[in-house]
Chains A and B, each alone.
Chain A
Amino acid sequence: EDQVTQSPEALRLQEGESSSLNCSYTVSGLRGLFWYRQDPGKGPEFLFTLYSAGEEKEKERLKATLTKKESFLHITAPKPEDSATYLCAVPPGRGVNTGFQKLVFGTGTRLLVSP
């Protein structure tokens, strides 16, 4: 069964304290891994797509990396405004119709950055 597991569930950091969030997946034939940021009471905001092991994407203090079994979202010198829930998602494995592709979402990591 296709699964996405995120850890930790919650993470509390001091401003400037770098850390990483983990997203592990079990899906055959990865066709992309997506990271989202969600602020309380709002819809998820798309951040990155990663397609192959070794790929990296960066945006401000965030860097996403991908291996064959997991992805990391590294947060360097975070600020309070980085506080949010971070979600990752993958399309289901090969063999499933590729046109109208659903996504399998993890339950997210709640990040709180204190000043």
Chain B
Amino acid sequence: DVKVTQSSRYLVKRTGEKVFLECVQDMDHENMFWYRQDPGLGLRLIYFSYDVKMKEKGDIPEGYSVSREKKERFSLILESASTNQTSMYLCASSLYGGPYEQYFGPGTRLTVT
């Protein structure tokens, strides 16, 4: 079974703090993705990566950066957290070249106060 894990289920941070969200997958997938999910807006892609040290912007990259130093690990960084970044953050992975179904982690509920 594919397993995608995320470092925290719940996180509370203060405005202006630097926040790291980590994601690890154990299926040797090349592609990894970070989404945020908000009520009424669905899943929105922040960044994705198809190889170590490679990254591509998604639909809403502003205020975020990512790091992929190892194939199994993909980190999302909020350089200076703001209240509008309060959300559910989901990591996913898939195989390069298909099949294209993505496998998701359990999510991190981030609250920025």
List 16 A-B pairs, Cβ < 8 Å: A32-B99, A36-B104, A41-B109, A43-B90, A43-B105, A43-B106, A46-B102, A89-B102, A98-B98, A99-B96, A99-B97, A100-B30, A100-B31, A100-B48, A101-B31, A102-B33
B101 touches A106 (CB 8 A): no
A45 at the interface (CB under 8 A from B): yes
User: What residues on A are CB-neighbors of B96 within 8 Å?
Assistant: 99-100
Cβ of A72 < 8 Å from any Cβ of B?
no
Q: Are A105 and B43 in contact (CB under 8 A)?
A: yes
B101 x A32 contact (CB < 8 A): yes
Binding site for B on A (CB under 8 A): 31-32, 34, 36, 41-46, 49, 87, 89, 91, 98-103, 105-108
Question: How many residues on the B side are at the interface (Cβ–Cβ under 8 A)?
Answer: 31
Q: Which residue of B lies closest to A51 (CB)?
A: B99
CB-CB under 8 A for A103 and B102, given A43-B90, A98-B97: yes
Task: Give Cα A44 to B102, complex, Å.
Answer: 9
Nearest-Cβ distance from residue A48 to partner chain B, whole angstroms: 9
B57 to A: closest C-beta gap in Å? 11
| With contact pairs A43-B104, A44-B104, A100-B56 given, residues A49 and B99 touching in the complex (Cβ less than 8 Å) | yes
Given A100-B30, A100-B56, do A45 and B104 touch, yes or no (CB 8 Å)? yes
Instruction: Check: B94 CB closer than 8 A to any chain A CB.
Output: yes
By a CB distance below 8 angstroms, the chain A residues around B107 are 41-43
Please state if A42 and B97 are interface contacts (CB–CB under 8 Å).
no
Shortest beta-carbon distance from B106 to chain A in Å? 5
- Residue of B4, B42, B58, B109 with most chain A CB atoms under a 10 A cut-off: B42
**B residues less than 8 Å from A46 (CB atoms):** 101-104
Q: Is B112 an interface residue (CB 8 A)?
A: no
Inter-chain contacts of B97 with A (CB < 8 A): 98-99
